[in-house]
């Protein structure tokens, strides 16, 4: 299965988000996925299996529990593929950051009306 086929499913993306916060038991993953998506434990197990079989997650046993974690290698491959497209959003985001910085500098400068030497309405005819 191609990485984007794996990541194309919103449940699997949410599971990966959970796992990115740290190792989770299958029960913890099921609890969140069931609450957010209204799906059953067997359906969550199927998503975990797809993630594991396609290299996006690892599993280890601890007693009777199965603990899942993110496997970063496939995500790094996706990131490398996206590199060719970053130019479409990097420039506009850099420009936005510049404009925000300009606005912040303007906001920090004292306004002319608050300066004691500035004229006010009472001085005008």
Highest mean pLDDT among 68-72, 83-87, 96-100: 68-72
More confident site: 119 or 112: 112
Amino acid 60: pLDDT: 96
Q: What is the arithmetic mean of pLDDT over 71-90?
A: 82
Q: What's this model's pTM, rounded to 2 decimal places?
A: 0.67
Amino acid 120: pLDDT: 52
Amino acid 9: pLDDT: 95
State the Cα–Cα distance between residues 39 and 28, nearest whole angstrom. Answer: 14
Amino acid 112: pLDDT: 60
Name the percent of the chain lying above pLDDT 90. Answer: 54
Q: Which of 79, 19, 76 is nearest to 51 (CA)?
A: 19
Amino acid 92: pLDDT: 66
Amino acid 11: pLDDT: 97
């Amino acid at each position: 299965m191609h990485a984007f086929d794996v990541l194309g499913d919103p449940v699997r993306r949410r599971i990966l988000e959970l796992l990115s916060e740290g190792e989770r038991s299958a029960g913890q993953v099921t609890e969140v996925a069931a609450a957010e998506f209204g799906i059953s434990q067997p359906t969550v197990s199927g998503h975990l299996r797809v993630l594991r079989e396609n290299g996006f997650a690892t599993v280890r046993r601890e007693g009777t529990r199965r603990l899942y974690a993110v496997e970063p290698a496939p995500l790094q491959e996706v990131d490398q593929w996206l590199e060719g497209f970053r130019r479409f959003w990097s420039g506009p985001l850099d420009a936005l950051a510049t404009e925000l910085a300009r606005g912040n500098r303007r906001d920090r400068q004292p306004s002319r009306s608050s300066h004691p030497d500035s004229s006010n309405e009472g001085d005008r005819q």
